[in-house]
Structure 1
Amino acid sequence: MDVITTHLNADFDCLGAMIAAHKLYPEALMVFSGSQEKSMRDFFLKSSSYVLNFTRFKDLDLGKVTRLILVDCQHSSRIGRFAELLERPGIAIHIYDHHPESSGDIKMSGGIIRDCGSSTAILCRILEEREIAITPIEATLMMLGIYEDTGSLTFVSTTEDDFMAAAWLLRQGGSLSTVGDFMTQELTSDQVSLLNDLLKSLQSITLNGVEVSIAHSSVDYYIGDIAILAHMMRDMENLEALFLVVEMGNRVYIVARSRIPEVNVGDVLRDLGGGGHATAASATIKELTLIQVLSNLEKSLRQKVNPRRVARDIMSSPVKTMTADTLIAAARELLTRYNVNAMPVMSGNKMIGIISRRIVEKALYHSLGQLPVSEYMHTEFLRTSPDTPIQDIQEYFIRQNRRFAPVFAKEELIGVITRTDLLRSMYAGEALYDLAREDIPTKSKELARQMKGRLSPRVLQILSSAGKIGDELDLQVYAVGGFVRDLLLGTENLDIDITVEGDGILFAETFASRFGCRCKGHIKFGTAVIVFPDGFKIDVASTRLEYYETPAALPVVERSSLKMDLYRRDFTINTLAIQLNQSDFGLLIDYFGAQRDLQEQNIRVLHNLSFVEDPTRVFRAIRFEQRLGFHIARHTENLIKNAVKMDFLHKLGGKRLLSELVIIFKERDPFGAVERMANLGLLRFIHPVLKLDAMNRRLLEEVKPVISWFELLFLDRKYEKWVVYFLALCEILTHDEFIEVCKRLAVSEHYREKLAEMRRLGERVLDAFNRRGAKCRPLQPSEIYRLFNDLAVEVLLYLMARTKSEEAKKALSLYFTKLQGVHTILTGDDILALGVARGPMVGELLEQLLAARLNGAVMSRDDELNFIRQAIVNNVVFSQQDTGPCSES
């Protein structure tokens, strides 16, 4: 039995999220874990018909619950008696919550946790994506949840998801007038009195240059909805960070709100047993007095309030520049190549101006492309230092209508701050397309504890040592890519990629010499491989950016920052980095919303031209989708379809295409990926007539159990799994078409001829089996051996998957399990020692002896000697006959 519930003192967001969750889990019962907020109680009194879909807790049999769906909550202490289920083995826990993941103690087995203004909005986006229909009443109730938790979409914690969800609900018939009726609340006399006391006690303290406001009061009885008072006071007094501390009876309640990144109120109140968002949080404290709570709050604030950020905290570096004599036409190319809207203009080592894309485009419109940028650049700009407060830069951008500020260390240009950098430092954003230019906050999280729990001591020691070497060389060192992704997913991945901001080859050489490893560097790309004595490898790269001069071309590489290095990667889920330097060891860096896409199981590109620049990413998207059980995001799939329609994949070189196919065919179960390729129209780029019809669909599905069977035999025969799937995929092709495919994929001439010939011989063998009639005698083991022994393992496995003949399957099974390793004890020298003259007779006798051993006629060395002696005595030399499946011997 499924049950949907939420936290005690449920509010409208709880109600809306529960109703939305019920659309995803239609068989589940909706049960409140305890009481509701006063506004909710009033709602139910006025709208009793809505209560009919809810089950009372006292009518619920907890023993029958097999899955618990929690909304707007991650804490066991906040779900009443439902917490008893958390200890039960096998219980599934799905959580849908908008509070930070680290704020809860309940381990989830499904669901989504991500930053958002409301839990209801998260669920609504899922309903919209899955095109699940809702009624106008349901839309109204969900809209109530969003509007309550976002202050009618005005709170700082509101995200684009909340707006998008509200818009979708409005299209589904949600009633804004009904929402307005329930959202408009007049303060009670108790709330007015409490507000007056709080305003009188309001005081501000300055911590690390940040002003934090605290108000407190004490009453003998409970007053509900004090969060309303927090919002009123914040707006009335224009406060950046506010903490309301109210003692009511034997409990102290704290409500906190913040508009600034330096004060993460959720983090502050976690120290006091509460939690929430960076912008909105609360706590309920028992057995402490008001004075004690205020003292503990001040201690937490002194530890948690971050200093005001300065230019060095948000600037982009290294800086791409152009010279004063760069022509306007060339300037546009540079701005496009590096994906920027403005660039510093240099005269030698001195910055003399800024050229913007807008000026360049206007100059080109007026046919001024052959003039130097120095003629039209901005020569007045703010000179900031690394210690310039961000507030000063913000005021410059607003007052002067600028979007670009250089950062200098004395006279040296060391960084730039753009309007995007500034916005990213101030507000949360949504992971959209061309992510390097979106206002996405850099998300960080401590992973040191997870790393200790999930990595082997050796790997942990290697990463720690890498950080120490980085500190010695004054280099920032990171673990990046799939290793980090799989660490968060709880999947083992020993392919470690390390990225260094600076000289990666110097780092690799230093590490190798220190720990007795070999190092092979590639100066052109700034990369190196560290090889340990036991063969274990680590790939090292200097941070770099890539740009593509033409679609599907190989990239041009240049040194760059960590952010731009991660931006060149294929999908958001592969853009995570973990800092390895000792001071920040285990710090997770997320520039592009990768954590969110991991939670939502999305495969998402970073910008709209991703598949144009590198069409191989189409195949990688499919591979990751199938391997991880994720889904390609809708817009990303549309971009794939566009790349297919524009025929960009025809420009791929054969080796690059083959490389992607080989990796796909080496996956645990490639069939899903092949099916996805067929659905997206990708097979025609391998060969125009290639398709997934019923015949090779069955064959591809049959390959997996055949390969599993073969690998369980633990035979000492190497083979290439990808070749078996490749042969199966090409099963519908003629011999000439198969050769064409091999040429398209740049398979070497020798190997493609060998594959084609074995494919042809294998088909001939199967045809012979298929022609055998009931009167044909069973094949002798020696005949089976001669049929199959010259064929590659890959071809034999392909034949086993392809054939429907039970006799052929048994013959192949017998060959693999008993015949392929059989050999005679006697050698040619032994036969010569028996008096046989050197010549063809020796080989013929050995072949006949092998046939006798295969057929069980001889077992021991003595048996073999007697067999050969008898042949010599009788002067019989058995000639080899071409014994096909139906021949007589």
Structure 2
Amino acid sequence: MDVIATHVNADFDALGSMIAAKRLYPDAVLVFPGGQERGLRDFLLHSTLYAYGMKKISDIELSEVTRLILVDVRSAARIGKFADIVHNPNLEIHIYDHHPLDEHTIRGQLEFIQEVGATTTIITQLFIKRGIVPTADEATMMMLGLYEDTGHLLFSGTTPEDFQSAAFLLRNGANLNTVADFLVREMTSEQVDLLSELLKSCEKIVVNGVEITLATATVNDYVGDISSLVHKLQDIENLNVLIVAVRMEDQIFMVGRSRVPEMHVGELFQEFGGGGHAFAASATVRDMPLAQLLDRMERLIRQHVRSHFQASDLMSSPVKVLTSNSTVGAARELMTRFSFNAIPIVDDLQHVVGIITRQVVEKAAHHKLLKMNVSEMMNTDFQVVPSTASLLELQQGIMEHNQRCVPVVDSGTLVGVITRTDLLRYMLGDRQLSTAATKDLPGRSGMQLKRKNLRQLISTHLPGSVKEILAEFGAVADQLGMQAYLVGGFVRDLLLRQQNLDVDIVVEGDGIAFAEAFAKTTTCRVRTHEKFGTAVIVFPDGFKIDIASARLEYYDKPAALPQVEHASIRHDLYRRDFTINTLTISLNPDHFGQMLDFFGGQRDLKDKAIRVLHNLSFIEDPTRLFRAVRFEQRLGFKIGKQTERLMRSAVQLRSVKQISGLRILHELKQILDESRVVAALGRLDQFDLLTFIDAKLHFDQSTASLFVAAERASSWFDLLYTGEAYRRWLLYLFCLFDNLSNKGAAKVSRWLGMSPADHTLVLEQLPKAKMLLKRLRHRSSKLPHPQNSEIYFWFDGLAIEIILYLMACSDQENLRRWLSLYTTELRKEKIILNGDDLITLGFKPGRSFQEIFIALLKARLNQEIQTRDDEIGFVKANFQV
């Protein structure tokens, strides 16, 4: 039996989701596992939901449930008696929910989890994709759920998908009058009295700089729709965080609302058996005095409010400095190389004695004073702050003293620097977060630093062995006084819930020393690369992890290989290609799982956009042009408009011509190994990037068709399960070279720096294959049934990539049949007799041996002989001693 169920104390979103799920599971029974909210109960009394056969959980034999469809819930603590069967191994569970994980989270065989305003939205999106059209009544009930959970599409957690779903439901008959009747009601006298009491009771506490308002009340009779009263109270008083507790008889009903990221009310309310989102949550507590609850609430709030940032959170370290006897020219060079707008100046004891800005340096350059010492021009009236400085102290340093940067100094030692841009990004980000990111969605503002804890995601999506290794890395980093971070594609794919165990770790410190220290804690070996300050840790099972020191790069000239210097994690991330690859996760125990987003990577993951970090990105490293296309196609993203403009500008400047063919080959190999290779090459052609490999290289419809055929040939060979390794990228490269002359292909191969063996394939076997193809096409029409031995010697010696290329090019059934026969059977044939056997038969070693072996192989291929005795008889009959 299939059952569609939701959470106890069901609301309109629960009902709308259940009604929608009924269309996906038409034979399922709708069951409320517990009570309903007052508004929903009123609706049920006036509706025709009896037609849906709604049942109570007491009407269901739990042992007969074979599939449980949970909507608007995935916590075992909120589904009543259904929690008794969720661990039944024979039970199939499907989940549709928009709530965050908690300690009671259920895992389903099928899950549709999305951070949107309402669960109804998730199922509505499925309707849109699958072409399912709801009835007017269904659309109305679904709209009730969507409007309730999004606050009439006004809550901060509302997403574009919610608006899209509302429009779809409206087009399909949703009755907004009915929605208004049940969701937009005048307050009753009891509600007015309760709101008044809540207003009078408001008390404010400040925890870690966050103001939190607590409001309480006790009423003798039940008052419904408390959540709407909380919403009104929050708007009336303009409160960032509001927590309301109302006692009614033996129960305390709690509702929480938050507009700031520091207070996640969903996590707080989980402590009371409730739950919800970062911005909205509720809970019901029984048999506890209100005073006791408030006392516990205040203690828990202090544990759950995230601390405000301090200087150590925002600063960049280590700091690039100049000595007081450095020249203005040196300052100008350093500013240009690293895009600095201000640089601290230190004396011989490394104490900060001044700050010099780009404006001053440029004016000095204009007056031809580049050889003058910076000590003559630096600003000596400046403020420094300790690493524990508050936001207010930073504001004073930057705004009141008009400083472009504030040195962070502990015990007289310069430990970091915070720029005006750093502070502005944080402050703007804070305002954005107050309206957008309280639901832990990627931010919508610019490049402010954002933090998000992914400990739960790491716990649920990574193998246990990997989690243990990452925790050990954090412990070793702490012991060494270093900071260790997960970086790169691993973090990106973790957020996308895609499998990726290609682990890269960056440490702020000596990466090699870190790797060697880690090796002492477990069984593994370390391969070091002193030149680059990197190491590879190899575990006994072959699992590898790359370790690198945080570093920054600068380019002496466009397309040159970068110069490298040690730096902070922020600088290390800034040198990377795209924003989505700049996300990082801390591994140190105190911050384990905390993700840092300096450059808007979360935003671009949400927008499914490929964006570079700065405008000279493609000029400095033109290989990023190929990488942009590769990531766009692999992830199903879209290159941002500004990034696309910068790509076309770099192509017009012919930046690619300044990099070696070997570097292009490296990028090309990765593109040709992607699953969406046809689309990727089409995009390369749109950007005119293939012409930099060869002017005659293009990707038209004919070439695309050849690639599709090559993909089929490759898949066919994979299904043979021969265990024989081959390189798919090389097969596709032959297809790309198809419209080049033999000389042209050889020239490109040489310029790309292909290995000698691969270059030989292009130089010798590829031309031979093309000639063979022409000959066999002619042969196929005249003699469609050659002997097996002929087929064998046509293709003998050709690399498997060449064979698959021929199969892709074969437009005749006979050709494909011959290639298939050779690949699956003929190429495996071997003769039994060897040279010693021929000597035993009386033959003298010499050229005749080769002639005999070939004759034997032909006879075996043509099935004229099979056994060893057959071969001996064949030799005696056809050759004289």
User: Shorter-chain TM-score category?
Assistant: 0.7 to 0.9
Q: Following the alignment from structure 1 to structure 2, what is the Cα–Cα distance between the partners of residues 81 and 760?
A: 72
Alignment of 1:175-214 (within 5 A): 190-205=190-205, 212-214=212-214
Q: Which runs of 5+ in 2 are unaligned?
A: 25-29, 61-66, 128-138, 169-179
Structure 1 residues 237 and 666, CA gap change in structure 2 (3 angstroms): closer
Asked if the contact 1:495/1:538 (under 8 Å) is kept, the reply is: yes
Alignment of 1:390-429 (within 5 A): 390-400=391-401, 402=403, 404-417=405-418, 418-419=422-423, 420-421=425-426, 423-424=428-429, 428=433
* Residue 641 (structure 2) aligns with: 635
* Residue 480 (structure 2) aligns with: 473
Alignment of 1:297 with 2:297, yes or no, is yes
Question: Which of 427, 431, 447 is 1:438 aligned to?
Answer: 447
TM-score, with length taken from structure 2: 0.78
State the 1:351 CA deviation.
1.0
State the 1:725 CA deviation.
0.9
Q: Following the alignment from structure 1 to structure 2, what is the Cα–Cα distance between the partners of residues 760 and 343?
A: 60
* Residue 725 (structure 1) aligns with: 732
The secondary structure found in structure 2 opposite 1:820 is: helix
* Residue 378 (structure 1) aligns with: 379
Structure 1 residues 13 and 572, CA gap change in structure 2 (3 angstroms): farther
State the 1:587 CA deviation.
4.2
Question: Which of 763, 779, 801 is 1:794 aligned to?
Answer: 801
For 1:762, the aligned partner's letter is A
Alignment of 1:595-614 (within 5 A): 597-598=604-605, 600=606, 602-609=608-615, 610-614=617-621
Alpha-carbon displacement from aligned partner over 1:706-726 (angstroms, at most 9, x marks no partner)? 122223334364432211111
Q: Following the alignment from structure 2 to structure 1, what is the Cα–Cα distance between the partners of residues 778 and 741?
A: 21
Q: Following the alignment from structure 2 to structure 1, what is the Cα–Cα distance between the partners of residues 798 and 879?
A: 33
Alignment of 1:272 with 2:272, yes or no, is yes
State the 1:35 CA deviation.
12
State the 1:355 CA deviation.
2.9
Alignment of 1:690 with 2:691, yes or no, is no
Alpha-carbon displacement from aligned partner over 1:160-185 (angstroms, at most 9, x marks no partner)? 989999xx99xxxxxxxxxx9x9999
For 1:507, the aligned partner's letter is F
Asked if the contact 2:628/2:639 (under 8 Å) is kept, the reply is: no
* Residue 853 (structure 1) aligns with: 860
State the 1:829 CA deviation.
3.5
Structure 1 range deviating more: 542-551 or 32-41:
32-41
Structure 1 residues 7 and 596, CA gap change in structure 2 (3 angstroms): farther
State the 1:803 CA deviation.
0.8
Question: Which of 503, 511, 519 is 1:496 aligned to?
Answer: 503
Asked if the contact 1:702/1:801 (under 8 Å) is kept, the reply is: yes
The secondary structure found in structure 2 opposite 1:493 is: coil
Structure 1 residues 606 and 474, CA gap change in structure 2 (3 angstroms): same
Asked if the contact 1:13/1:149 (under 8 Å) is kept, the reply is: no
Q: Which runs of 5+ in 1 are unaligned?
A: 26-30, 44-50, 128-137, 170-179, 876-889
* Residue 758 (structure 1) aligns with: 765
Asked if the contact 2:662/2:753 (under 8 Å) is kept, the reply is: yes
Q: Following the alignment from structure 2 to structure 1, what is the Cα–Cα distance between the partners of residues 13 and 196?
A: 28
State the 1:503 CA deviation.
0.8
Q: Following the alignment from structure 1 to structure 2, what is the Cα–Cα distance between the partners of residues 645 and 13?
A: 51
Asked if the contact 1:529/1:538 (under 8 Å) is kept, the reply is: yes
Structure 1 range deviating more: 246-255 or 788-797:
246-255
The secondary structure found in structure 2 opposite 1:730 is: helix
Q: Following the alignment from structure 2 to structure 1, what is the Cα–Cα distance between the partners of residues 245 and 239?
A: 16
* Residue 770 (structure 1) aligns with: 777
* Residue 172 (structure 2) aligns with: none
Alpha-carbon displacement from aligned partner over 1:140-176 (angstroms, at most 9, x marks no partner)? x99x9999969998x9x589989999xx99xxxxxxx
* Residue 830 (structure 1) aligns with: 837
Question: Which of 805, 826, 848 is 2:812 aligned to?
Answer: 805
Alpha-carbon displacement from aligned partner over 1:102-144 (angstroms, at most 9, x marks no partner)? 6995769687745x999999999999xxxxxxxxxx9xx99x9
Structure 1 residues 400 and 231, CA gap change in structure 2 (3 angstroms): farther
Q: Following the alignment from structure 2 to structure 1, what is the Cα–Cα distance between the partners of residues 9 and 379?
A: 58
The secondary structure found in structure 1 opposite 2:450 is: coil
Q: Following the alignment from structure 2 to structure 1, what is the Cα–Cα distance between the partners of residues 313 and 270?
A: 26
Structure 1 residues 75 and 336, CA gap change in structure 2 (3 angstroms): farther
State the 1:523 CA deviation.
2.6
Q: Following the alignment from structure 2 to structure 1, what is the Cα–Cα distance between the partners of residues 293 and 866?
A: 89
TM-score, with length taken from structure 1: 0.77
* Residue 883 (structure 1) aligns with: none
Q: Following the alignment from structure 1 to structure 2, what is the Cα–Cα distance between the partners of residues 804 and 188?
A: 79
Q: Following the alignment from structure 1 to structure 2, what is the Cα–Cα distance between the partners of residues 668 and 238?
A: 51
Alignment of 1:701 with 2:702, yes or no, is no
Alignment of 1:538-577 (within 5 A): 538-577=545-584
The secondary structure found in structure 2 opposite 1:709 is: helix
Asked if the contact 1:604/1:633 (under 8 Å) is kept, the reply is: yes
* Residue 712 (structure 1) aligns with: 719
Question: Which of 675, 678, 701 is 1:671 aligned to?
Answer: 678
Structure 1 residues 568 and 223, CA gap change in structure 2 (3 angstroms): farther
Structure 1 residues 339 and 270, CA gap change in structure 2 (3 angstroms): farther
Asked if the contact 1:782/1:854 (under 8 Å) is kept, the reply is: yes
Q: Following the alignment from structure 2 to structure 1, what is the Cα–Cα distance between the partners of residues 641 and 390?
A: 38
* Residue 135 (structure 2) aligns with: none
Alignment of 1:318 with 2:325, yes or no, is no
Q: Following the alignment from structure 2 to structure 1, what is the Cα–Cα distance between the partners of residues 709 and 271?
A: 57
For 1:562, the aligned partner's letter is I
Asked if the contact 2:449/2:597 (under 8 Å) is kept, the reply is: no
State the 1:704 CA deviation.
1.9
State the 1:799 CA deviation.
0.4
Structure 1 residues 433 and 246, CA gap change in structure 2 (3 angstroms): closer
Asked if the contact 2:328/2:373 (under 8 Å) is kept, the reply is: yes
Alignment of 1:579-594 (within 5 A): 579-594=586-601
The secondary structure found in structure 1 opposite 2:526 is: strand
The secondary structure found in structure 1 opposite 2:762 is: helix
Alpha-carbon displacement from aligned partner over 1:837-857 (angstroms, at most 9, x marks no partner)? 443222222222222222222
**Equivalent pairs, count:** 845
Structure 1 residues 36 and 762, CA gap change in structure 2 (3 angstroms): same
For 2:408, the aligned partner's letter is V
The secondary structure found in structure 1 opposite 2:785 is: coil
For 1:338, the aligned partner's letter is F
For 1:699, the aligned partner's letter is L
* Residue 354 (structure 1) aligns with: 355
State the 1:761 CA deviation.
1.2
The secondary structure found in structure 2 opposite 1:214 is: strand
Q: Following the alignment from structure 1 to structure 2, what is the Cα–Cα distance between the partners of residues 124 and 326?
A: 65
State the 1:823 CA deviation.
2.5
Alpha-carbon displacement from aligned partner over 1:649-704 (angstroms, at most 9, x marks no partner)? 34332111111111222234533333343344433233223223333222211112
Asked if the contact 2:76/2:106 (under 8 Å) is kept, the reply is: yes
Asked if the contact 2:112/2:122 (under 8 Å) is kept, the reply is: no
Q: Following the alignment from structure 1 to structure 2, what is the Cα–Cα distance between the partners of residues 124 and 377?
A: 62
Q: Following the alignment from structure 1 to structure 2, what is the Cα–Cα distance between the partners of residues 320 and 668?
A: 43
Structure 1 residues 231 and 621, CA gap change in structure 2 (3 angstroms): same
Asked if the contact 2:651/2:687 (under 8 Å) is kept, the reply is: no
The secondary structure found in structure 2 opposite 1:688 is: coil
Alpha-carbon displacement from aligned partner over 1:772-825 (angstroms, at most 9, x marks no partner)? 266537322222222111222211111011112222222222222222232322
